[in-house]
Amino acid sequence: MSSRLSATTVYAAPRPRAYVSVTGPDAAVYLNRMVSNEVETLQVCDACEALLLTPKARIVAPMLAWRRAEDGYLLLTEPEAGERLARELARARFAAKCEIAVEEHTSVVVLGDDPLVVNRHDVVANDDYGLPAVELLDAEPPDDAEAIAEDELERLRILARTPRLGRELDDRVLPAEAGLEHRAISFTKGCYPGQEPVARLHFRGHPNRTLRLIAVDDGPLPEYDAELVLDGKAVGRVTSAAPDRQRGIVALAYVRREVPAGAALVLQDGRSARLLGEHA
């Protein structure tokens, strides 16, 4: 599973979340025309990643859209995004027959492929950490689950190149830059806010920068937005970082697309950094 984790052990940790429900006869149709992924065809108890975007394709909220009933969804988003997500969905509802509400729940992320965890009905699949994982809603983890430290969970998120709101995702970033096209966007569904610029970039162009994984020499964790330089020219900025036994520090950074894997970069504090390949 990881250089730090045992493949035979189940691990668990709290997962801070905000929760927004969309329920009613028009819930599926309405939500499908508001978010970036195909949620109307989800089976009950299935989930997918999706985004609520502005008309200019800036990210309002990332989410896991979980269909918990034929006429109801629970959207799991980041804690700071819940109120805005509910407000934006309610504002655009018009005549749709559905209700939008903020709900109170708890999530525990459980990492491991224990079938007793995976086959439960109170779980939502989670792909944030690059390992088999689920979120248990309003439930306790398995009795034999070991606690996983916050910095280790962050390291796994970084290695999985999963962007997070407030770090990799803000109003400066387009979904394609964050690597969200393949995990949170459908290019075959109907219209939704932000679809036109998303599709235009996908079919007619490419982002000038993308979210990449870098290794940094040992020392303090790089500051948020720390500049990365190649041959005296700024080519990127760091968004998240965590200690890593094998590499010193691993970090996510937005780096110009022309910078090749293996490039020797310099952090703004003078330390060396290396751009890792896709399979690092």
Q: How far apart are CA 152 and CA 36, in angstroms?
A: 30
C-alpha distances in Å from residue 277, one per residue of 21, 43, 262: 39, 36, 7
Q: Please give the radius of gyration of the chain, using alpha carbons only, rounded to the nearest integer.
A: 19
Q: Which parts of the chain sit beneath pLDDT 50?
A: 1-2
Q: What is the largest CA-CA distance in the chain?
A: 58
Measured from the Cβ of residue 210, the count of other Cβ atoms closer than 10 Å reads 18
C-alpha distances in Å from residue 181, one per residue of 57, 59, 136, 174: 12, 13, 26, 10
pLDDT tens digit sequence for 165-182: 999 999 999 999 999 999
pLDDT (0 to 100) of residue 8: 77
Phi-psi region of 238 (alpha: psi -120 to 50; beta: other; left: phi over 0): beta
pLDDT (0 to 100) of residue 277: 86
Q: Residue 28: CA atoms inside 13 Å, Cβ hemisphere, count?
A: 14
pLDDT (0 to 100) of residue 116: 58
State pTM to two decimals: 0.93
Asked if residues 47 and 134 have their Cβ atoms less than 8 Å apart, the reply is no
Q: Which domains does the chain have, with CATH numbers?
A: 10-142+174-206 (3.30.1360.120)
pLDDT (0 to 100) of residue 142: 86
